[in-house]
Amino acid sequence: MAIPTLRQLQFLTALGETGSFSRAAEACCVTQPTLSAGIKELEELLGVKLADREARGARLTHAGDLAAARASALLADTHALVQAVQSAGALLTGPFHLGAIPTIAPFVLPQVVKALSSTYPALRLYLREDKTSRLIDQLKTRTLDAALIGLPWDAPGIETLSLFDDEFLFASSTSHPLAKKNGLSPDDLVGEDILLLEDGHCLRDHALSICRPAAGDRAGQVAATSLGTLVNMLAGGIGVSLLPRLAVDHGLAISNDVAVREFTTPVIGRQVGIAWKAGSPCEADARKIGEIMKAVIVG
C-alpha cells in the first residue's frame, strides 16, 4: 500500500498553518506549483479532498484538518528522531537551520557563525534571511529550527527568548537642524517627515511605536527597502529617521553626510531575541545559540 511522503505531509501542514498556497510554498522553500502538485498527489493517494481554494487563500477541509493534525505530530516525531540520532545527546551537532531578519542578520551573523564554528565544529549551520512573518511560518512548519527576530512579537505556538535591548538612535543629514540640537527627545520629531522601512519589516512597527505619538501622521510616509537604502536617502536630505544601535555599531555603512545621535534619555526601540516552535527538540540548541550570540555581541 502506498503511503504519503514526509514532504507531502510537510506541504499539508504548511498549508494549514498559513492558509495560503503561496505562503505555504515560501515556508517550505519550494515553488507554488510544486506545493500544489504535492497536495494534489496526497489527495489522490488518500482518495479525499484535503483543501479548498478560496478567493483570499485556502482552507483545509474537515478531512484535511484531521490529516494535518496527524501529519504535524508525525513530522515532530521524525524531526525529534533525526535530532536525537545526529546529536546523540550533545548540543549543536549536525544540521541546524537558523533564520534572521534583515535588520539583524548582517550585523550579528558573521560574529555568531565564527564563534559557533570554533566552539561546535560538528555543527552544520544553514542560514536564511527573511521578514519576521515568513520566518515564523517556517518555524511552524519546521523548515527552520530557530530564528533571530525583533521582540516583542506575539505568535501562537512560538516561544521566544529575549537576548538584549536595542537602542534607537536619531539620524538625519548633517545639515538638518536637529543634527546639532542639544538635548534630543522623541518630541523633537513633531512636524518632521519620518523615514522608515517599508511594510513587512518589524523594525518599522517598533519605530512607529516610538515616533508616531510625536510625529503623528507624518511618521512613516516615506519608506525604504533596507537600512542601507534608508541611510542613503537620509544623506540626500530626505527626512529624519531612527536607526538601531545594533546596526550602527556592527557594520551599517554611515555616510559622512549623515549625523547619528543619541537621545538624551535612551530610547529602547526593541529587544533582539531568538524564537523556536513550542515543543521543538531544538529548544536547547536555540537557547545555546542565543547565549553565544549575547556573549559575542554584548560581551
Q: What is the CATH number of the domain that holds 256?
A: 3.40.190.290
In a domain, 141, yes or no: yes
pLDDT at position 193? 85
Domain count of the fold of the chain: 2
pLDDT at position 2? 76
- Do residues 42 and 118 both lie within one domain? no
Residues 87-122 pLDDT 10s:
555 789 889 999 999 999 999 999 999 999 999 999
Q: What is the CATH number of the domain that holds 49?
A: 1.10.10.10
- Do residues 201 and 76 both lie within one domain? no
In a domain, 39, yes or no: yes
Which residue among 85, 119, 151 closes a domain? 85
Which residue among 85, 110, 136 closes a domain? 85
> pTM of this prediction?
0.74
**Cα(185)–Cα(96) distance, integer angstroms:** 42
Rg (CA), the chain: 22
258 phi and psi angles, rounded to 5 deg:
-115, 130
- Do residues 31 and 126 both lie within one domain? no
- Do residues 20 and 145 both lie within one domain? no
Exposed, middle or buried by CB within 10 Å (0-12, 13-18, 19+), for 282?
Answer: buried
**Sign, CA torsion 78/139/59/33:** negative
Residues 276-289 pLDDT 10s:
999 888 999 999 99
- Specify the DSSP class assigned to residue 240: B
**Cα(185)–Cα(276) distance, integer angstroms:** 36
C-alpha neighbours within 13 Å on the C-beta side of residue 49: 7
Contact between 199 and 221 (Cβ < 8 Å): no
- Do residues 16 and 111 both lie within one domain? no
- Do residues 71 and 127 both lie within one domain? no
- Do residues 43 and 109 both lie within one domain? no
Which residue among 40, 61, 85 closes a domain? 85
H-helix or E-strand spanning residue 45: helix 32-46
In a domain, 67, yes or no: yes
C-alpha cell at 103: 535588520
Beta strands in the chain (DSSP E): 51-54, 57-60, 94-100, 123-129, 146-151, 158-173, 194-197, 219-224, 241-244, 258-261, 267-277
- Do residues 186 and 297 both lie within one domain? yes
- Do residues 80 and 98 both lie within one domain? no
- Do residues 108 and 42 both lie within one domain? no
Tell me which residue has cell 515560501: 26
- Do residues 133 and 172 both lie within one domain? yes
Tally of residues, the chain: 299
In a domain, 232, yes or no: yes
- Residues spanned by the domain of 233: 92-299
pLDDT mean over 142-162: 93
**Cα(82)–Cα(178) distance, integer angstroms:** 56
- Do residues 245 and 172 both lie within one domain? yes
In a domain, 249, yes or no: yes
Exposed, middle or buried by CB within 10 Å (0-12, 13-18, 19+), for 32?
Answer: middle
First to last CA, the chain: 57
In a domain, 125, yes or no: yes
Residues 46-94 pLDDT 10s:
999 999 988 778 899 999 999 999 998 888 888 777 666 655 557 898 8
In a domain, 195, yes or no: yes
- Specify the DSSP class assigned to residue 198: P
pLDDT at 295 over 60: yes
In a domain, 1, yes or no: no
Quickly state the pLDDT bin for 154 (edges 50, 70, 90): confident
**Cα(163)–Cα(275) distance, integer angstroms:** 11
**Cα(253)–Cα(255) distance, integer angstroms:** 6
